[in-house]
Amino acid sequence: MGVRVRFAPSPTGFFSLGNARTALFNWLFARHEGGEFLLRIEDTDKERSTKEFEEDVIAGLRWIGLDWDGSITRQSERLDLYEKYLRQLVAERKAYHCFCTEEELEAEYQGFLSQGLIPKYSGKCSHLKEEEVQTKLKSGLPSVIRIVMPSKTAVFNDIIRGKIEFKTELFGDIIIAKGFRSPLYNFAAVVDDFEMQVTDVIRGEDHLSNTPKQMIIQEALGFPSVHYAHLPLILGPDRKKLSKRYAAASINDFRREGYIPEAMVNFLALLGWHPERDREVLSRAEIVSEFSLKRVQKASAVYNEEKLNWLNANYLKNMDANKFIEVLKPFVPGEWLLEKDLLHRALPLVRERITKLSEFSGLADYFFSVPEYAKELLIWKEGTLERTTESLREIAESLEKISARQFNKEAVQSALDPLTLKFGRGEVYWPLRAALSGRVASPGPLELTEAFGKTETLSRIMLALEKIKSSESMV
C-alpha cells in the first residue's frame, strides 16, 4: 500500500498558522511520495465544535491550494464504529468502566503528590466484578471508559526526532471515552487512522505525549502501528508560543489582508523545513519535488513577518499583470476595474511599492480621482509660490507641444530639460509630481506623466495653478 496521510483538525477554533503548516507538510509529503492526502474533521466535541470553524478550515485549505483525496471524513458520523471497538475492548477486559467521582479522583491526586509521586489513576475500578459494573450502569451512575495501561516502555522511531521512549506506567489507565458513543481524541484517532489506512501520522510536537497512548490503544485493538513524525513548534519573535499578537487568528485573515497563496505556501514550507542550497523563493512544484521529512528541523521555527512580507512582495512584483488585476479585484473599488487602461498603466508604478494587496488602493487612489492637497506641497524646499507658478506654467507650455501619441517619459524629459537649466531640477520635477499625485511620496514625475497621458497631465497642472491662484485671491 502507498503512502496515506491525514490532516485532522478539530473545528473548535479558527484555522491557525500552525494548523496550516501541519496540513501543508502532510500534503507535501503525500504529493512527493505519490500518495494520498486525506481530510478528517474531528468534531466529537459537541459543545465546542461549530460549523463556522469547520468552514474556516476548508476555506483556508482551498485558498492555499491543498486538495484532499476522496470525501471529507467526519467523526460525528462514525459513532457506530467507535462503539463497536469500545465494546470489543470492554468485552476483552482491555478496557473498563470507571465510576470514580471527581472528589475521589482529587483525593487520589493529592495522595500521590504528598508522596512525591507522579499523579495517575490507581486503577481501582478495574477490579470491579461484572455484576457490580452492570448494577452501577443500570442505576445510571456516571462513568467513563478507561483502557488498561500495561507496564512497559513504548518505543518508536520518530522520522524527525529519532528514537523516543515513554514508560507507560506513568500515565495510569487513561480515559478513552465518556461512554460507548462518546469517544475521546486518542481512541477515535486510532480507530480512524486504522479504518482510513493511514500509514504516516505527521503532526505538531505538542502531540508527542499522545503517541505512546495511541500505540497502546493500537496494540489493544490489534491494529498495526504507523509511522510518526512530530513537527517543531512555531514560536513568535519573542521565542514564546505564537500568539495573535504576532500572527492572525486564522490563515484566512492573511488572505483578507492581501497575502497571496503562492507566498503563503512558500513561507509556511520554510517554517521548520529547508530545501537544498537554502533558497528562499520556491514554487509549489519545486517544494513538492524537494520535500523530505528528513530535512525538517528538530528545533522550533520562528515566525518572521518581515520574511512573509518580503516573499509576498516578491511574488506580486513578478506576477503577470492580468493575473495581478484578477487577484486585486476584492481590494479595490469596483469602478476602478472599469477603467482597465488606467489600471494597467498604474499597476507597474504601484505594485513596486506594496507588500500586500490591501495596500494597493491607498497608494493608487490618486490615479482614479483628483487628490486633495495643500498648495504648499507644490513648493520645492525654500522656493516660493510665485516661482512655483512660473515653473508650472512653463512646464505646461512645454508639454503642450508634445503630441498625445508621443507623450511618453522620454519625450517629457526632453521637453523639460531646458527648464531644469533655468529653474533647477527640483523646481521643475517636484511641483510636477506634486500636481499629479498630491502626495509627498509617489512614483517619479516622468513615470506619472506617461501613466496619466497628455490630457490628464495638463489638466492636473492647470488645477494646481488654479489652487495657487485661488489662494492668492483670498489673501
- Beta strands 175-179 and 73-74, pairing class: unpaired
CB atoms within 10 A of CB 38: 23
Sign of CA dihedral 350, 355, 358, 359: negative
Cα–Cα distance, 433 to 446 (Å, whole number): 8
Q: Exposure string (b/e) for 104-137, b if CB count within 10 Å is 16 or more?
A: eeeebeeeeeeeeeeebbeeebbebeeeebeebe
Closest CA to 200 of 25, 11, 15: 25
Closest CA to 266 of 24, 2, 22: 24
Closest CA to 295 of 277, 268, 274: 274
Q: Is 155 helix (H, G, I), strand (E, B) or coil?
A: strand
* Contact between residue 48 and residue 12 where contact means Cβ atoms under 8 Å apart: yes
Cα–Cα distance, 148 to 168 (Å, whole number): 11
Closest CA to 467 of 369, 373, 400: 373
Report CA 240 to chain centroid distance, whole Å. Answer: 18
Cα–Cα distance, 186 to 191 (Å, whole number): 9
Cα–Cα distance, 332 to 200 (Å, whole number): 44
Which residues does 444 contact at the CB level (< 8 Å), separation at least 6? Answer: 429, 433
Q: Is 206 helix (H, G, I), strand (E, B) or coil?
A: helix
Q: Is 244 a catalytic residue?
A: yes
Of these residues, 167, 244, 340, 469, which one is catalytic? 244
**Cell 524527525 identifies what position?**
160
**DSSP notation for 218-233:** HHHHTPPP-EEEEEPP
Residue 70: all three cell numbers together: 476522496
Helices of type H across 51-128? 51-63, 79-91, 102-114
Q: Which residues are annotated as catalytic?
A: 244
